[in-house]
């Protein structure tokens, strides 16, 4: 639970105790810290001379030693004139930085959406040097009436100094560096340096997103992006990975080019890189037509160019060929996918079953076996986990996504293929594919003990969550957490049944628990107040969290009186706080016991 969650829980107590009160805003915000010390000590300045800055959100107490460091993106400036123009924007001066930003994707503080990092410390370095945090040019540069500074590397140093002095980075146990776009390139360039600044025993890795920029001419043959990068690398005295710099003393720009720098990076990387990177398509390759943005009107020649970019990016990623690193490379026309809600943790992502093809028996371990007895014999087929049910309810229609291999076995784990004569006898054919289909449709899905245990564990948690949602402790009028209910269920040795629904079992569990702890079904009546400006938009988000809307009043602000489950109160206050930026309000009007014998949950 993040600190926002703890504050919200405190608000539940206060509100119930006193009958009214306001909700805490769920804090997804990150606040700006300016690196003013770094200006004096290191000369760490944005293009215009202002101090660098980063946004900070502290993690939960339990994860206080885990850090996600992020480099913001925003392209580059490529010439002095270009950089002078940039110095007047929020990509070149911290005087135009907002005081807070909201997390999204990998930086969002929502554990459901972002389970791995939501409760970590997040330090989001903002981009104002135009050179992927690499500029290390000591002398200021005069351009017309502007004085420019190329000091990205010193901003990075000042950032790490500040985190060590003020945020506990020097006692971190886990640190991940990430960054997107120009910050993704910065992640490749500086991963080893950042790694050298975290404590020796800490786990360290880097997640560059959309930072693998191709050093290619445009599809028309013009030297555009490579010339631009070479220019700015020289103008700003850009510094990249130390080993890369040592090996490329005469051509330092190569260390600002992922494909050349990568072999020198020893930090373990989890790269995220679309093979149809939308920024590169237009800005490096000058491909003017893409199916997504041009309503499928591209000519055959344009489609060839589009595919050539895909081949180039994928080829370059494949050439990495290192067992140190992992790659997530998809085919979305997109850029910076870990940072924007649409792509990050999208439930429609599904690993293709074709990720590997079993070539021998050994690989057939991560499988689901479906078995059918026929003609006195047992036949088995090997399927991909989780695919059998989606085939049966017709969500998955491609049999190759379901079957590991078109072969019928007598024993999958031994790799014993069924004899054709036996198949003939039982099925009247020895066409393995046909028989696979029959077994897939009619056979019995085998579930391993581990899977069964995992399913029961999940069901146990689900029952506990329902109980926690629906009940309070009548003595204090406070809801229980699911963890408290789980403990109480263990104490009285509740065992869940895989055959009954979680809801039905929750009813039983409440009755049993009531014999040992103070617990009762309850509903809450709450008033939700939404400011007029937000009301139309937010109301439809509020309703799904309620059991019933009792009354609404559109006079000035919108006031909704609703009945909710006690367990929903926190989610509701967080939603309203977030969606109305703290202007909305949720107050408890009353807590009602739900009548005994009401069997409906």
Chain contacts with ligand NAG (rule: CB under 6 A): 1, 27, 29, 31, 57, 60, 62-63, 78-81, 116, 119, 136, 138, 216, 219, 227-228, 231, 235, 239, 285, 295, 308-309, 312, 321, 378, 411, 413-414
Residue 297 or residue 495: which is nearer to ligand NAG going by CB?
297
CB 446 to ligand NAG: min, Å = 9
Cα Rg for the chain, rounded, in angstroms?
Answer: 29
CA 348 to CA 327: how far, in whole Å? 19
- Residue count of the chain, please give it: 601
Residue 195 or residue 506: which is nearer to ligand NAG going by CB?
195
Q: What is the DSSP string of 148-171?
A: E---HHHHHHHHHHHHHHHS-GGG
On whether the CB atoms of residues 524 and 509 are closer than 8 A, the answer is no
E strands, 480-596, where? Answer: 520-530, 548-553, 558-564, 585-593
Residue 169 or residue 535: which is nearer to ligand NAG going by CB?
169
On whether the CB atoms of residues 132 and 185 are closer than 8 A, the answer is yes
Tokens 């079953």, residue located: 353
Residue 211 or residue 513: which is nearer to ligand NAG going by CB?
211
CB 470 to ligand NAG: min, Å = 24
CB 365 to ligand NAG: min, Å = 12
CA 22 to CA 588: how far, in whole Å? 9
Residue 295 or residue 495: which is nearer to ligand NAG going by CB?
295
CB 374 to ligand NAG: min, Å = 14
Closest CA to 565 of 541, 535, 544: 544
CB 413 to ligand NAG: min, Å = 5
CA 323 to CA 311: how far, in whole Å? 21
Residue 71 or residue 285: which is nearer to ligand NAG going by CB?
285
CB 176 to ligand NAG: min, Å = 10
Closest CA to 589 of 521, 542, 530, 528: 528
CB 231 to ligand NAG: min, Å = 4
CB 558 to ligand NAG: min, Å = 26
Query: What phi and psi values does residue 365 have, to the nearest 5 degrees?
Result: -100, -40
Residue 16 or residue 309: which is nearer to ligand NAG going by CB?
309
Q: Kindly tell me the burial class for residue 566, based on how many C-beta atoms sit within 10 Å of its own C-beta (0-12, 13-18, 19 or more).
A: buried
Residue 231 or residue 583: which is nearer to ligand NAG going by CB?
231
């Amino acid at each position: 639970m993040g600190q926002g969650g703890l504050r919200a829980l405190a608000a539940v107590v206060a509100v119930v105790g006193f009958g009214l009160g306001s909700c805490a805003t769920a804090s997804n915000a990150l606040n700006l810290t300016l690196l003013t010390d770094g200006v004096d000590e290191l000369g760490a300045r944005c293009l215009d001379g202002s101090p660098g800055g980063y946004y900070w959100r502290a993690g939960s107490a339990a994860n206080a030693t885990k850090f996600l460091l992020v480099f913001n993106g925003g392209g580059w400036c490529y010439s002095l004139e270009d950089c002078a123009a940039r110095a007047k924007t929020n990509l070149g001066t911290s005087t135009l930085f907002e005081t807070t930003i909201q997390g999204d994707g990998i930086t969002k503080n929502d554990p459901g959406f972002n389970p791995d990092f939501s409760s970590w410390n997040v330090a989001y370095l903002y981009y104002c040097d135009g050179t992927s945090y690499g500029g290390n040019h000591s002398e200021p540069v005069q351009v017309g009436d502007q004085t420019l500074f190329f000091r990205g590397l010193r901003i990075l140093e000042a950032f790490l100094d500040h985190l060590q002095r003020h945020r506990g980075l020097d006692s971190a146990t886990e640190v991940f560096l990430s960054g997107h776009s120009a910050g993704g390139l910065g992640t490749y360039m500086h991963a080893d340096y950042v790694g050298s600044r975290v404590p020796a025993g800490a786990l360290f890795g880097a997640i560059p997103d959309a930072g693998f920029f191709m050093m290619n001419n445009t599809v028309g043959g013009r030297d555009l992006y490579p010339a631009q990068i070479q220019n700015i690398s020289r103008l700003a005295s850009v510094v990249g990975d130390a080993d890369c710099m040592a090996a490329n003393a005469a051509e330092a720009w190569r260390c600002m080019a992922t494909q050349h720098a990568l072999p020198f990076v020893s930090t373990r990387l989890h790269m995220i890189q679309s093979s149809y990177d939308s920024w590169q398509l237009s800005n490096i390759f000058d491909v003017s037509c893409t199916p997504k943005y041009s309503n499928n009107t591209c000519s055959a020649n344009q489609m060839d160019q589009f595919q050539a970019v895909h081949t180039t990016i994928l080829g370059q990623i494949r050439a990495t060929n290192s067992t140190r690193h992992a790659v997530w490379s998809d085919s979305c026309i997109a850029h910076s996918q870990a940072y924007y809600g649409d792509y990050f943790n999208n439930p429609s992502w599904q690993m293709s079953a074709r990720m590997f093809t079993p070539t021998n028996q050994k690989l057939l371990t991560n499988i689901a076996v479906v078995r059918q007895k026929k003609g006195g014999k047992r036949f088995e087929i090997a399927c991909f986990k989780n695919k059998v049910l989606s085939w049966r309810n017709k969500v998955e229609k491609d049999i190759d996504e379901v079957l590991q291999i078109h072969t019928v076995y007598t024993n999958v784990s031994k790799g014993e293929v069924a004899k054709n004569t036996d198949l003939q006898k039982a099925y009247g054919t020895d066409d393995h594919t046909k028989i696979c289909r029959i077994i897939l449709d009619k056979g019995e899905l085998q579930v391993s003990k581990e899977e069964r245990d995992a399913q029961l564990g999940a069901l146990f948690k689900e029952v506990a969550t329902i109980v926690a949602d629906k009940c309070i402790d009548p003595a204090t009028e406070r809801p229980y957490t699911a963890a408290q209910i789980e403990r109480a269920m263990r104490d009285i040795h509740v065992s869940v049944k895989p055959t009954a629904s979680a809801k039905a079992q929750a009813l039983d569990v409440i009755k049993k628990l009531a014999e040992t702890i103070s617990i009762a079904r309850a509903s809450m009546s709450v008033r939700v107040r939404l400011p007029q400006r937000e009301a139309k938009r937010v109301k439809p988000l509020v309703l799904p969290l309620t059991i019933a809307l009792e009354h609404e009043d559109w006079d000035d602000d919108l006031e909704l009186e609703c009945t909710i489950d006690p367990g929903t109160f926190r989610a509701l206050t967080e939603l309203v706080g977030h969606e109305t930026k703290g202007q909305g309000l949720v107050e408890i009007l009353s807590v009602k016991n739900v009548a005994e014998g009401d069997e409906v949950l």
